[in-house]
């Protein structure tokens, strides 16, 4: 099965999980590039407001076409739900994915994040996974990544 891992990462947690998944699944990887600068500490408040108000953003055109893949695994950090760059990506390809799976990294869990991702892309995920940032930092995912890979087939 040809697989693409797509993710947005601001602090590196989501990127680390995406790369581990790519290794296990022998998948291609695509970073979602937000056209809005979100790197500075001063942008933290703006980022939270953007997510809370479901403000959209623009992203750079992806280099890899997800419609060419059997499965697209989409990863997002959780700020106050799914982040605007991931939402923009999902909406860009709404109804065009063959199969999707979702994963999130978070400091504190966000209710309904996967539901909102499903609504944004128009496709029910075949699997989902949540991992806390501190578990990633400590290298102790509790076997979640391998379990998730198993669910993906």
**pLDDT tens digits, one per residue of 94-104:** 999 999 999 99
Q: Is the pLDDT of residue 56 over 80?
A: no
Q: Which residues pair with 132 in a beta bridge?
A: 106
CA dihedral 137, 90, 43, 9 (to 10 degrees): 20
H or E segment to which residue 114 belongs: helix 113-121
Q: What is the mean pLDDT of residues 47-68?
A: 76
Predicted pLDDT of residue 22: 97
DSSP SS3 for 118: helix
Whichever domain contains 12, its CATH number is 3.40.50.360
pLDDT over 90 at 10, yes or no: no
Look at 61 and 140; give whichever has higher pLDDT. 61
Number of domains in the chain: 1
Judge whether residue 150 has pLDDT over 70: yes
pLDDT the model gives residue 58: 85
Lowest mean per-residue pLDDT among 2-11, 47-56, 110-119:
47-56
Which domain range does residue 120 map to? 3-152
* pLDDT value of residue 82: 80
pLDDT at 39 over 70: no
pLDDT > 60? residue 62: yes
Please give the model's pTM, rounded to 2 decimal places. Answer: 0.85
Q: Which residues are registered as beta bridge partners of 77?
A: 105
């Amino acid at each position: 099965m040809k697989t693409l891992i797509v993710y947005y990462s601001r602090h590196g947690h989501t990127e680390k999980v995406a790369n581990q998944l790519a290794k296990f699944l022998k998948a291609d990887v695509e970073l979602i590039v937000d056209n809005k600068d979100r790197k500075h500490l001063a942008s933290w408040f703006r980022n939270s407001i953007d997510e809370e108000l479901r403000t959209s953003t623009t992203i750079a055109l992806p280099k890899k076409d997800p419609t060419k893949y059997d499965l697209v695994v989409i990863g997002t950090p959780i700020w106050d739900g799914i982040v605007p760059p991931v939402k923009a990506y999902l909406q860009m390809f709404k109804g065009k994915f063959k199969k999707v799976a979702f994963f999130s990294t978070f400091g504190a869990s966000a209710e309904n994040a996967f539901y909102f991702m499903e609504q944004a892309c128009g496709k029910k995920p075949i699997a989902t996974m949540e991992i806390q940032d501190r578990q990633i930092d400590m290298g102790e995912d509790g076997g979640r990544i391998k379990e998730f890979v198993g669910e993906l087939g």
